[in-house]
């Protein structure tokens, strides 16, 4: 089982509209509920 997952924002987590899909949200929630730390990563300055 994974303990940590790092996810890139652009092109991975975000769709072409710059949004997170419902399926992706549910997948992230499931991972968190199983004790996995989810880290968002980006090279851009926000």
37 located within any domain:
yes
> How far is residue 34's CA from residue 31's CA, in Å, rounded to a whole number?
5
Q: What pLDDT does 46 receive?
A: 59
pLDDT at res. 27: 94
Domain count, the chain: 1
Q: Is the pTM of this model over 0.75?
A: yes
Give just the sign of the alpha carbon dihedral 4, 5, 9, 15: negative
Q: How far is CA 23 from CA 15, 27, 33, 45, in A?
A: 11, 6, 15, 26
Query: What's the confidence (pLDDT) of residue 11?
Result: 76
Query: Does the residue 24 lie in any domain?
Result: yes
Range(s) of the domain holding residue 20: 4-41
Does any domain span residue 15?
A: yes
Residues 1-46 pLDDT 10s: 889 999 998 878 898 898 999 999 999 999 999 999 999 988 766 5
Q: Determine, yes or no, domain membership for 46.
A: no
30, 2 in Cβ contact below 8 A? no
Strand duo 37-41 + 4-8: pairing? parallel
Query: What pLDDT is recorded for position 10?
Result: 81
């Amino acid at each position: 089982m994974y303990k940590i997952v790092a996810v890139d924002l652009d092109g991975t987590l975000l769709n072409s509209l710059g949004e997170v899909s419902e399926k992706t949200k549910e997948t992230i929630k499931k991972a968190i509920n199983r004790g996995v730390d989810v880290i968002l990563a980006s090279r851009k300055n926000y």
